[in-house]
Every structure is written in C-alpha cells, then in structure tokens.
Structure 1
Amino acid sequence: MTAPLAYITGASSGLGQAMALRYHRAGYRLALVARRGAEVEAWARAQGIAPEHCSVLAADVRDIDAITAAGRACIAASGLPDVVIANAGISLGIDTAIFEDLEVMRRTYETNNIGMAATFQPFIAPMRDRGTGRLVGIASVAGIRGLPGHGAYCASKAAVISYLESLRGELRASGVRVVTVLPGYIATPLTAQNRYSMPFLMQPEDFADRAFDTITAGTSYRVIPWQMGVVARLMRALPNGLFDRLLVGRARKHRAGE
C-alpha cells in the first residue's frame, strides 16, 4: 500500500495497456478497469505483473452505476489513487442521414463523455480532501476540428476538451491537477481500420512514455506528438472555406459494421 496507485479505464487494449505497463515500470500499483476483466487479468499475468500489484475491476463506463461502483471498490480495497486516467473510448464513423447511426452517436457520447465524468466522480471529493491527485482525460486532436464522417467522435472529443477545462477551473485551488492529453494518430485497434493517411503515427509505447512525463509534470494540456500539435493549431487557424477545400476527397471514417 506504500507504492503509488494508478487507476486506468479502457485497459483491455491499445493506449490503456501501454500506459498501464508504463506505470507498472515506474513502480506504481495498478487498478485496471475494462469490460473484459478476464482478458486484462490474463494480459497482466503475461506481462509478469504480480497480482498484489494489479487489481482488475470489470465495468463498462457506459453503465454509471457500475463504473462509479468500481471507483469506490478501488478506494476500499487499494486506497485512493494518485492518478486516475479516463482512457476508455470508442471511435466509429457516422452518417447522419442513416437513422441507425444516431444510436452510434448516443453510444459514443455515453462512452467518451458521460463515461469520463462517471470515472472521475468517486475520486474528486476524496482527492480534494487529501489535497493531491491527478485526473487525466484522454481527448484527441480530432476534437479540434470536425472531420468528414467523424461527427460523433470529433464532437465527443471536443466536449472532452471543454469538460476537462471546466473541471480544471473547479479544482484549481484544491491541489488536484486536471490533465488533458490529446493523442494524434497512435497505432491501436481504434486506428487500424482508418482509410486515410495518418501523419506522425506513433506506437503506443512511445505515446505512453510521453504521456507519463506529461501527467507527472501536471501539465494542463498537451498534444502528443508535438508535431500534431503544430498541425492542429494551423488547422484551427484556417478559415472555414480553406479548411473545407482541403478536406475535399478525404475518405470518411468507416461506419460501424463496415
């Protein structure tokens, strides 16, 4: 119980596992949350992480009761985390002209937005009382400007950025740091099916190293890699007409089932 504790959602693959391994190597105990708890337990064993250093909680972030209960269970069993990383997220294309895709949009918001707030909820008051802690939200550069066929994901990540900014202001004087991390293109299952170019594509392990440093420093907002941050700022500054012309012919994000 003397080692620091990192609580990470979406730990069954991709960025979640990469960050879990990075925190383990830094000497942290882990509390990992995923819908597929058995898979996470098998992965932890394969990595040689001892059971006493890693607890696994099975919960779906879309289920508010389940994910908040997982947070309370973590506190009861392992203590109050030093770092909470709300990483769970989904990325699917939509076509608003197709009725069924409205349900995809709902699911995206429930996962990426409500799920993030519900992940943080059990920890905010006790962290504020303690006077320390890190609440980390994984956003995306896709939240900076809208992309064709990607309306649900882009909108959800834009909401993540604004939500975390609001939360940062609320907790500013408490000693609890709110960190917004915006990944660019990372080689994970979320990007494997993308039908367009992905500049500055990173491996999850490289992302995890940079994210760890960002979170440890308590930096409020960072795009990883920095090159995507430059691109994002330039894209944000473009007039709408020029931005729209640049996207002509760009492949749409694949829809669910494609």
Structure 2
Amino acid sequence: MHAPRTGDRVFITGASSGIGAALAREYAARDASLGLLGRRRDALEALAASLPDSKRHRIYVVDVLDRPALQAAAHDFIAANGGADIVIASAGISHGTLTERAADLSVFDAVFATNVNATVATFAPFIDAMRAQSNPCRLVGIGSVAGIRGMRGAGAYCASKAAVHSYCESLRVELRNTNIRVVTIAPGYIATPMTSKNRFPMPFLMPAERFAAQAVDVIARGAGYRVLPWQMGLVAKLLRLLPNVVFDFAFSRAPTKQRKGDA
C-alpha cells in the first residue's frame, strides 16, 4: 500500500463542511499543506484553525461556479506551494427533482453546474502544473453510488454523478501516460449535513471521518474507481446487474429525495 507522502500539497473544494472538511482533517493529520476552498468564510477559518500547524494552510472563500475566482485560487495555491500534488473536487449539492415541476428545471441547472461543470473547472488550472512536476499527482472526483442507477425523484443528482463518473473516466484515459492519476471515489451514504436531510433509510451509513481515512488511502494508491464503504460497492455491483424490468419494479415506489424548498 502506498501511504501519502509527508508534505503533500492538497487542494480541496467544498471544504466548508461534510466530505471536504473530513478529508481536510485527515490530510492535515498526515502533515499535508492544504488549500481549502468553499463559500463560507467562518466555516473555513474555523476548520483551518482546528488543524495542526494551521498557518501552513490557505483558505479561499470562493463559489466553485465563479470560474475566474476558482482559477485564481488554483494559481495562488500553486505559486504559494511550488506546485500541487492532489486536487479533490468535493463541492457538490443534492436536491430532489421532478421533471414535471417547472420550478425544478433551474434546480437541474444548479446541480449540474456545481457537481459536473465545477469539477472540470477545478481540475483544469492544475493539469499543466502537475505535468511539469516529476512526482506522482492525483486528480480526484467525488461521484456517488447514486450515479450508478437512476433513482426515483433524484434525476438531477443521479445524472450529475453519473456524468462525474464518465468524465473522470475520460480524463483518466487522457492522462494515462502522464504522472497524473485520475481517481473516482463513489461514496455510499456518508454522515454529513447533506445526507442528514434524507427522509429514507440509509444502509451502511458511514461516519465522515472513517470515509476520509479510507479515501485518502485509495487516493494514495491511485485507484481508478472505488466505492466506499465496501458494502455499498457490493450493492452497486448488484444494481448494475439487475435487469431493467426488475429494477423498475423494485424502485418505482421507493421514497424520494427532498425537493428544494420542501419542508
């Protein structure tokens, strides 16, 4: 197993809370220098202050939809640290959607912009700098088990995460003969503020800290694709194998994800 090197330079979007913040704490515990990007200054400052050697970490109060600001943050991190070793596109949003509801069309736009387009925009400014380095580097996309099959009432989220999986696979092939490995991590149910809104059972719910510890090891190995926790990996394989007629019958009455604005 390849352990993360001490002194890794790690840039994380969506670092204000949830998976992004958990990954930041895990990497800081392993002596990494971090770039923490998110929309909430108070949350980023509190996170940075709680980390070992807090002054070595940089915070960027940026919305990932603001491409010029995202690019400027990437360039600042590269300049301040002499490069970047790991970039994790962790920013994401989730809302239930129903296609027949006109109000949900803008929600589809927002989910795809944040979950898919911002992943591309996060990676883009780092690739040339990483190629110029001699050390192994990682670009990490955060997908989801929800991207494996389309779930009732979650069309935007499921489709966006399926797009993240396919995009990262394309990028992985493009960068195969370089020093950059593209890693796709598909979380199952992780205990975060995002999943706390779910109003249905969440099998194999995993604490964010345990997820982060396992994810950092997966990233260090440069695995192309991994579902965490492993139990959800088995569920994912079964979902892929289900014939459509069986899948449709089994999930047509499943509970739906909460829509934006629903109580």
Q: Same fold (TM over 0.5)?
A: yes
Q: Where does residue 15 of structure 1 map in the other structure?
A: 19
Name the structure 1 match of 2:39.
35
Question: What is the aligned partner in structure 2 of residue 120 from structure 1?
Answer: 123
Deviating more after overlay: 27-36 vs 127-136: 127-136
- Quick one: structure 1 residues 190 and 164, their matched pair in 2 at CA, closer, same or farther if it must change by over 3 Å? same
Partners of 2:187 and 2:200 lie apart in 1 by 17
* Aligned match of 1:150: 154
Q: 1:75 aligns with which of 68, 73, 78?
A: 78
4+ residue runs of structure 1 moved beyond 4 angstroms?
none
> Which residue does the alignment assign to 1:240?
244
Give per-residue Cα distances to partners, 1:107-165, cap 9 Å, x unaligned.
Answer: 00110011000000110011112243110010001000000110000000000000000
Q: Distance in 2 between matches of 1:114 and 1:64?
A: 10
* RMSD (Å) for aligned C-alpha atoms: 1.2
Q: Could you tell me whether the CA contact under 8 Å between 2:152 and 2:252 is conserved in 1?
A: no
Question: CA 1:48/1:72 → structure 2, altered by over 3 Å: closer, same or farther?
Answer: closer
In the alignment, the residues of structure 2 paired with residue 185 and residue 156 of structure 1 have an alpha-carbon distance, to the nearest angstrom, of 17
Q: Alpha-carbon deviation of 1:87?
A: 0.3
5+ residue gaps, structure 1: none
- In 1, are the aligned partners of 2:83 and 2:133 still within 8 Å (CA)? no
Is residue 212 of structure 1 aligned with residue 207 of structure 2? no
Query: CA offset at residue 48 of structure 1?
Result: 4.3
Q: Which runs of 5+ in 2 are unaligned?
A: 1-5
Could you say which residue in structure 1 is the equivalent of 2:189?
185
1:143, 1:121 → 2: CA distance?
A: 23
C-alpha distance in 2 between matches for 1:103 and 1:114: 15
Query: Are residues 1:174 and 2:184 paired?
Result: no
Taking a change above 3 Å as real, the CA distance of residues 126 and 187 of structure 1, as seen in their structure-2 partners, is same
Aligned match of 1:251? 255
Shift of 1:170: 0.6
Identity among equivalent pairs (%): 51
Higher deviation after alignment, 59-68 or 177-186: 59-68
- Using the size of structure 2 for normalisation, the TM-score is 0.94
Give the match's secondary structure for 1:200.
Answer: coil
Structure 1 distance, partners of 2:237, 2:8, is 35
Cα deviation, residue 67, structure 1: 1.1
CA deviation map 1:167-215 (0-9, x unaligned) = 0011000110100000000011111111111110000001001101100
Aligned pair count reads: 256
Query: What corresponds to 1:54 in structure 2?
Result: 57
Q: Which amino acid aligns with 2:60?
A: L
1:41-64 Cα deviation digits (max 9, x unpaired): 12221x243342211011111121
Matching residue within 76, 97, 102 for 1:99? 102
| Structure 2 residue 82 is matched with structure 1 residue 63 | no
